[in-house]
Structure 1
Amino acid sequence: MKILISNDDGIFAIGLRTLANRLAAAGHAVTVVCPDRERSATGHGLTMHKPLRVDPVAAVFAEGVAAWACSGTPSDCVKLALDAILPTAPDLVLSGINHGANLGTDVLYSGTVSAAMEGVLEGIPSVALSLVGPGAEDFQPAAEFAHQLVLGLGQQPLSLPILLNVNVPSRKVVDRIRGVKIARQGMRRWYDQFEKRTDPRGKTYYWLAGKVVEEGEAELPAEPELVAQKQFPTDVAAIKEGFITLTPLQYNLTAYSGLTRLSSWIPYSAVEKSLAKD
């Protein structure tokens, strides 16, 4: 398969190198286009007011891996690769392996997930991959799972416009991986703390830090036909139990369970009638 790989940790990240080299060793045609530096938590940002620069990178990856470092965001990298660098569209877009979790509401900020979503927007099956655990360094199990997943997608391609968000527990989180679970998106609430500092010129600046203070579920009340989804655990819960989590995500953010509720919302109806009189 022709595979495009990006990330948000930068071109020299160990997780990226482990993934690209494993898939190249399996015989896939691997192209890497990544930010030239750390670009975590950039979401789906794009560079619009300055040019993008891209440089070939050698002696970092295994033989056969074509790699470029881009001055832009993760989403920039995928867009640039698809529209300007690659001669033909890849069969698959992979993003990662991220250094850290992308669970629950993390996906709203994640450059890793956004890079994969850019592939979905272009109609290409895409996967975001993350290794969960503080200071996790052994990316080989996650790369091996990615290899098996790529084989599976080659045999049964995704037929829906979704990306697969994969989180793999590291050995620093669990003693052993218990298996794989299809999971729904959970919730992670962070306590944000801005540390106030002063630079050498006497000017004030702030440094954002934070920690997870709550994990669980954060959903609108489900309509009766959606209750069956509760059979699937949240990604947050399943990863704690030692499972690799595989969560389908989509770019359509419509809260379908809210449509019927809004249609009978009295304030909205009153405004509609008032506008009709004008």
Structure 2
Amino acid sequence: MVRLGGTFSLKRRVRGGRIAVTALVAAGLVLVPAGASAEKARPGTGLEALAGKRILLSNDDSVQAAQEDGADGRGLYILRKALCEARADVIVVGPWRQQSGRGRAISTAPQVRLAPPVRIPAEYAGDCATAPSRGLVMGACASAGPCAPDSASVTPADSVDLALGAFLPRRPGWSGGPDLVMSGTNSGANTDIAVNMSGTVGATTAAAERGVPAVAVSANGPGGPIAPPTDRTYEVSAGYAAKVAARLLARRDAAERLGREKLMLNINVPHVAEGGRTPSPRWTRMGDTPLGRITYVPDGAGGYRIGFTAADPDTRFDPRSDTAALRDGHISIGAISVDRTADPKWLRSLHLTR
């Protein structure tokens, strides 16, 4: 059991707007342009750069993976499998239950616990059997007692904070922390202004705040940005994310710079049909036009039903944006920063400090 006493506060700091590309390109993390073959553009190191690397994996969909449609953690286990196949040493610490939309939120419970999940899909149980940590999976619940099926969950950011600050330092071989934190693969896209509410990105934000390089991975379902992805889409997402992780960790200076500058990589993968080709990646910026919006419809009894309305098919997106990349059928990859600072000259012209 890991106990946290008292109260604490962390600012939710995920900057929207400009994507910090230059630093990553200068550091050697040059990714595949749209229209090119991901396989042909892969660097000479390939996935072998992941061998022996310590990767903390989290998500916001829970560690249970009990839903048949794969909406509550199946993407995490498929990504875990891909990383372990590349001989990375993976430990999972994630929310006990579904925590989508929690952003960088923190829990207020005075105590939390870590425990193996109630259910791990049998098909993924042996994926990391030969790794030093054997693919350990721990769920974080908000409870003074043992985690039960109905226990409240901590947030995705809590999971990463707990792992980095208390759990991993006590693990043999992990006292120096992970080489990389990955969050996903999320069920549903995390693009444009939705990034600010994303628990998947919130988990990587917690890592970036500590200077640990981090990558968020999300995927579209066949019915749009909030539909659960198919296993084929999860597999494509995991394969591409593993390549990105390998490229990053093959250049230690790039990984260190990502952490030092408190940047996160944000990957989004469109729906991939069964038997369909892997989409080509496109380097993007965070858009400001969403693929859809949460809606509130009066229920006639004084309340509102919560729903989701997809963007009109004729909506024009910034062609450089993550939303446009997904709409065009490309994998979107971009960088976002913990630092939300803006310094527009027009505000300074108001002389607000006088």
Q: Which TM-score applies when normalising by structure 1?
A: 0.82
Question: Matched residues in 2 for 1:233 and 1:173: separation?
Answer: 28
Whether the 8 Å CA contact 2:205–2:264 is kept in 1: the answer is yes
Match of 1:239 in 2: 326
Match of 2:242 in 1: 147
Q: Which TM-score applies when normalising by structure 2?
A: 0.65
Whether the 8 Å CA contact 1:4–1:31 is kept in 2: the answer is yes
Question: Matched residues in 2 for 1:174 and 1:104: separation?
Answer: 29
Question: Matched residues in 2 for 1:5 and 1:209: separation?
Answer: 30
Q: 1:251 is matched with which residue: 338, 343, 352? A: 338
Residues 115-159 of structure 1, C-alpha deviation per residue, up to 9 Å, x if partnerless? 011110111100000112234212111111111111101112331
Higher relative contact order (CA 8 A, sep 6+): 2
Percent identical: 29
Match of 1:165 in 2: 266
Does residue 129 of the first structure (1) align with residue 217 of the second (2)? yes
Question: Matched residues in 1 for 2:246 and 2:235: separation?
Answer: 17
Letter in 1 for 2:59: N
Q: 1:40 is matched with which residue: 85, 100, 111? A: 100
* Change beyond 3 A, Cα 1:99–1:195: farther
* SS of 2:311 mapped into structure 1: strand
1:206 Cα deviation after fit: 4.8
Question: Matched residues in 1 for 2:214 and 2:323: separation?
Answer: 21
Any gaps of 5 or more consecutive residues in structure 2?
1-52, 66-72, 142-153, 170-174
Whether the 8 Å CA contact 1:197–1:207 is kept in 2: the answer is no
1:81-230 alignment, distance < 5 Å: 81-87=163-169, 88=175, 89-133=177-221, 134=223, 135-137=228-230, 138=232, 139-156=234-251, 157-158=254-255, 159=257, 160-172=261-273, 176-186=277-287, 187-188=289-290, 190-194=293-297, 196=299, 206-213=304-311
Match of 1:228 in 2: none
* Change beyond 3 A, Cα 1:16–1:103: same
Letter in 1 for 2:348: S
Aligned Cα root-mean-square deviation (Å): 2.4
Whether the 8 Å CA contact 2:262–2:339 is kept in 1: the answer is no
* SS of 2:205 mapped into structure 1: helix
Whether the 8 Å CA contact 1:191–1:213 is kept in 2: the answer is no
Whether the 8 Å CA contact 2:294–2:306 is kept in 1: the answer is no
Question: Matched residues in 1 for 2:79 and 2:217: separation?
Answer: 10
Question: Matched residues in 2 for 1:185 and 1:169: separation?
Answer: 16
Whether the 8 Å CA contact 2:269–2:326 is kept in 1: the answer is yes
* Change beyond 3 A, Cα 1:45–1:264: same
Question: Matched residues in 2 for 1:2 and 1:102: separation?
Answer: 25
Report the number of matched residues. Answer: 249
* SS of 1:86 mapped into structure 2: helix
Greater shift, 47-56 or 82-91, is seen at 47-56
Whether the 8 Å CA contact 1:2–1:90 is kept in 2: the answer is yes
* SS of 2:82 mapped into structure 1: helix
Bigger fraction of residues in strand: 1
Question: Matched residues in 1 for 2:88 and 2:217: separation?
Answer: 18
Whether the 8 Å CA contact 1:44–1:115 is kept in 2: the answer is yes
Whether the 8 Å CA contact 2:95–2:155 is kept in 1: the answer is yes
Q: Which has the larger Rg?
A: 1
